Amino acid sequence: MAGIKLSLRTLLIWHFHVMRAIAMVPFSLSSGTPQQSQVYLGVSIALQIVLTIWKSIKAYPMLKISQWSVLAVAPNAQGLAFIVLITVIRLSLITSTRTMIKLLRYLTLKSVIDPRISRSTYAFLIVNMSTMMSNIYLDTKHSKERTDIVYFRVVMNLPYFITLRVVSLGINVALQYIAADLKLQVRELIYLDEKNLAVTSTSGVLPSNLQLNKSGFIRSKLHRIRNVRMACQNIHSAFILPVFLFLVYEPLELLILILFALYAQNIQTVYGLLLFIIPGLVHLWLILDAPTDYERTCEDGVHLIRKLITEVGKEEQNRRKEVWQLRGIQAELESMPRFTIFGLFELGRHCLLSMGSLVLIYVIIVVQFAGSGTPVTCLCSGTGNPPH
């Protein structure tokens, strides 16, 4: 571990290898270049078929409703929704393998950018891993089956435990990396050395391998920013359906978990539910916060490029070519894709208020309905097991 540099780029590449290990992104490496592998694709499809059959068998008892009340139907509905959600997300990512490979190739491009992992990302990693291990521990602790059967069930459920974590963390870290890349390209354009017709790096030192004229350097930055824009489009294309499904599912999960917490008969049940509420909130924050830094970087980049165009245009008439190239970079930054979900709404922190108010409204409605004379029974009371 001492020779491994922990950075966003390294984390993302590891992330892709984890997704390949759980049969979500089938690819192989040929001379260090990621390529689509028909062998891995066949294994991924076969494993997904096995997981779907396994989960269908486990979900069949959920269709048997012994009591038609809100709290009797809700946990079964939530469990079925979770199985459908994970299955569709995994199939969606498998069908988006080519897009994901293009994104992985962008990450393996030779680049001077290698941003470090932020403290908040470390915190989210720790929370995700600790809650996942706690859920697995509780799932095995309360089981009365044989040990070998319990271990087999844990192995079969592991891809379902990991799927939402790799999706939420993947889109967040990928956009962090892209934002850092854009910042670097714009910053290097600002540090143009007009007298020596060369470019200085962000440290102020003139690299020996960058003895380029301004026009050629600006052209190279334009090409790099276009690669970044294509990477953004690949992220949007690959993750739009999983993100949409998760945003539809998460309010339902939070509603059911909050209702169970309200009607719990002991404090242990509430503690058990927290192990599901906290990861759900973490996944939600990672997804909704993902475009924030990226969009701010695009807006700041457009402002700085406009300022640079004005300064360059004032100096010499024979630098019109540079001005047009800078305008091309400005157009690329302005056309960076926004993360809209099927044209319905734009992904961002502002969605938290809408989702929170939606969950609160339905909690109030269900509580009033339950208190109006309809008997309320909580199936999880006294067991300590969450509705999953």
Q: Please list, in sequence order, all residues whose beta carbon lies within 8 angstroms of the beta carbon of residue 159, skipping any fewer than 6 positions away.
A: 22, 23, 24, 47, 51, 86, 90
Query: Computed from CA positions of residues 231, 232, 233, 238, in that sequence, does the dihedral angle turn out positive or negative?
Result: positive
What tokens were used for 67? 């009591």
Q: Please list, in sequence order, all residues whose beta carbon lies within 8 angstroms of the beta carbon of residue 137, skipping any fewer than 6 positions away.
A: none
What percentage of residues in the chain have a pLDDT greater than 70? 73
Measured CA distances, 257 to 111, 138, 264, 269, 276 (Å): 45, 17, 10, 11, 8
Intra-chain end-to-end CA distance of the chain, in Å? 36
pLDDT band at 240 (very low <50, low <70, confident <90, very high): very high
What's the confidence (pLDDT) of residue 241?
92
Q: Which residues of 273-309 are buried (b: 16+ CB within 10 A; e: fewer)?
A: bebbbebbebbbbbbbbbbbbbbebbeebbebbeebb
pLDDT above 50: residue 211:
no
Q: How far apart are CA 215 and CA 319, in angstroms?
A: 9
What's the confidence (pLDDT) of residue 202?
44
- What amino acid is encoded at 216 in this protein? G
Measured CA distances, 86 to 157, 242, 250 (Å): 11, 9, 12
What's the confidence (pLDDT) of residue 25?
86
Q: What is the pLDDT of residues 148-198, one digit of tens each?
A: 666 777 777 777 778 888 888 889 999 999 998 888 888 887 766 444 334
Q: What is the pLDDT of residues 103-147, one digit of tens each?
A: 888 887 766 567 888 888 888 888 888 877 877 777 677 666 666
Q: In the chain, what is the greatest distance between 2 CA atoms, to the nearest angstrom?
A: 83
Contact 247, 341 (CB under 8 A): yes
What's the confidence (pLDDT) of residue 317?
58
Q: Residue 62, exposed/middle/buried by CB under 10 A (0-12, 13-18, 19+)?
A: middle
Q: Which residues pair with 27 in a beta bridge?
A: 36
